[in-house]
């Protein structure tokens, strides 16, 4: 009985950490369930740097427009000038740890940059690239 309690208590401490640290794997598993994968960091990097033309203004847009090309450095929002903390998890351990946050910004930023939502394959590739930094 006592041992059972110890195990349960230990699990209660460990579980939330495992779930949090694994936001990327969980999302990638979701994308795989939708038929995407395997994921490639190289494809993610290519998409991260790829220029897209905004239909209205004709101006070039990329992920790096706000996040910059050195992901260990802070970026700056193009319009608001607000500082964006470094994207690389190695430079910013809080990065890519919350599924809700990742999903929300994928929708917003893909729409703004690509003019459409990213596919499951693209999102899986982007995460493979970002987590390698
Ligand atoms: C117009 C500016 C802008 C562009 C362009 C942009 N982002 Fe972002 N991005 C932000 C802001 C602002 C946040 C939220 C603030 C933060 O997390 O520091 C964010 C957050 C994110 C997050 C959430 C990170 C986390 O810790 O959960 C991801 C993932 C992301 N962006 C991916 C992308 C991708 C992929 C592209 C290109 C398709 C892109 N962004 C282009 C401004 C931008």
Write the pLDDT tens digit of every residue in 44-96.
999 999 999 998 999 999 999 998 888 988 877 877 888 888 999 999 999 99
Ligand 1: atom nearest CA of 23 is 27
pLDDT for res 86: 92
For residue 68, the domain's CATH number is 1.10.760.10
pLDDT for res 98: 94
- The pLDDT-based confidence of 111 (bands split at 50, 70, 90) is very high
Instruction: Indicate the number of domains in the chain.
Output: 1
pLDDT for res 15: 61
pLDDT for res 28: 97
Q: In 77-112, which positions are buried (b, 16+ CB within 10 angstroms) versus exposed (e)?
A: eeeeeeeeebbbbeebeebbbebeebeeebeebbeb
Ligand 1: atom nearest CA of 61 is 5
Residue minimizing CA distance to atom 3 of ligand 1 = 66
pLDDT for res 25: 95
How many angstroms does the Cα of residue 10 sit away from the middle of ligand 1?
35
Domain boundaries, position 50: 2-131
Q: Which residues contact 20 (CB under 8 A, 6 or more apart)?
A: 97, 98
The pTM is what?
Answer: 0.85
């Amino acid at each position: 009985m006592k041992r059972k309690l110890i195990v349960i208590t230990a699990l209660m401490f460990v579980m939330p950490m495992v779930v949090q640290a694994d936001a990327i794997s969980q999302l990638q598993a979701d994308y795989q369930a939708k038929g995407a994968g395997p994921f490639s960091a190289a494809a993610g990097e290519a998409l991260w740097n790829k220029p897209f033309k905004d239909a209205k203004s004709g101006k070039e847009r990329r992920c790096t427009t706000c996040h910059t090309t050195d992901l260990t450095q802070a970026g700056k929002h193009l319009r608001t000038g607000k500082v964006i903390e470094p994207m690389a998890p190695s430079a910013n351990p809080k990065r890519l740890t919350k599924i809700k946050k990742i999903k929300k910004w994928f929708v917003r930023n893909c729409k703004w940059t690509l003019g459409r939502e990213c596919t499951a394959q693209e999102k899986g590739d982007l995460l493979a690239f970002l987590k390698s930094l």
